[in-house]
Amino acid sequence: MAGVKDGREDLTSPLLLASPGGSISATVFSPGGHVKKVEVQSGNDPSGSCLSAILSSTSGTESSEVMLVIQSSVWINFVLMLCKLYTFLVSGSLAVLASLVDSIIDLLGQGALMLTSFLARQSGHEEYPVGRGRLEPVGVMICAVVMGMASMEVISQSSIKLIKYWDRDDAPAAVLTETAVVVLVFIVFLKAGLWYWCSNVAKRNPNVDAVKAIAQDNMNDVISNIAALIAPEMIVLGYQFWVIDPLAGIGISIYIIYTWILTGFEQVEMIVGKKADPDFLQKVFSIVEGHDQRMQLDQLSAYHFGPKYLVELEVVMPESTTLRDSHDCGILLQHKIETLELYGGPCRTSPRAEGAKLTFQRSGELLLKESEPTEP
């Protein structure tokens, strides 16, 4: 039964097993689909069989920090795209063109990431019972495909220029003005700062793929802009060094394609449900082993459900355990697993006791289903 007490959400639940006083931090999914970090403060109720829990909500900053990174990146990339467009128009450098194409696709891609991140956090449990967390990997994959196609076009244009002017002495040379040099140097330092910021945010939010993709993209920009700055200036060593510029354009594009191919494969593994890392499985195993002496682990599996993990457990209780105790023990175990950093739900747990089997799963909000008593 839920209510509000002293500004806190009061959940005095008969579904939680009795335990010594104390508190644990857990992730609670409200019926509206919102995620909150809570402190579970335990104390025995008068019957001595259940845990009275008061869940006090703590306002998390993950979502706002992530959205700040995405929105800031979009606006900064828009300004930098205009700067690169000016630099390309005054220089005609193919290396700068490769960097410009990168920025244009960045805007489109980060717009897609912003949309998918927003949709993934919206409630829609009637149409999407297990949530829309896998939208973020899909958005990253779309970015990878579009970026690869754009980079292939730059490779094509650079190759055409190399073939056309290879044996000629009238190849157009790319020349950077002083203003263009200043612009590119400014972009390099700004992108390096953005990469550092996004990398730190990604470490604090390891389950948000959008921030990781933006951090990777900023590093790509640092490398591509350094190449775009150096390649046209090689002409001062001699006219024959005009080939450095189209070759740099090809090199930048190949590097971008390579990095996004790796990113795309990582996202595919998350969508199709790759097995969880052994370290994560060991953490879940340790929680189950130390949860209740009466409980024995029968089956454990965890696999990617988007950027996070779905955990499935089957545990066995002694024949003398009542259905209520078996049920309550499983609920508390679920809350403990939810405290793991990369846990993303839904969670399916099946405690078994003599004469009954109870299954329940949580996806957004807790759903309980009790089966009819069966023969042992």
238 shares a domain with 324: no
pLDDT digits (tens, 9 = 90+) for 2-48: 444 444 444 433 333 334 444 444 444 333 334 444 444 444 443 33
Domain extent at residue 45: 2-60+275-370
- Round to whole Å and give the CA distance between 329 and 304: 25
265 and 130 in a single domain? The answer is yes
Please indicate, yes or no, if residue 376 is contained in any of the structural domains. no
Share of the chain above pLDDT 90, in %: 2
**Omega before residue 31 within 30° of 0, cis:** no
pTM equals: 0.57
Task: Tell me: do 143 and 251 sit in the same domain.
Answer: yes
Last residue of a domain, one of 249, 272, 295: 272
| 109 shares a domain with 23 | no
CATH of the domain at 286: 3.30.70.1350
Residues 192 and 293 in one domain: no
Q: Give dist(CA 297, CA 260) in Å, integer.
A: 40
pLDDT tens per residue, range 131-186: 666 777 777 787 788 778 888 888 888 888 888 877 777 666 667 778 888 888 88
Same domain for 73 and 36: no
Same domain, 119 and 26: no
Provide the pLDDT confidence category of residue 129 given band limits of 50, 70 and 90.
low
309 bridge partner residues: 304, 343
Is residue 105 domain-shared with residue 130, that is, in the same domain?
yes
Whether the pLDDT of residue 251 is over 80: the answer is yes
27 forms beta bridges with: 37
Answer yes or no: is pLDDT of 286 > 70. yes
225 lies in the same domain as 284: no
The count of domains in the chain is 2
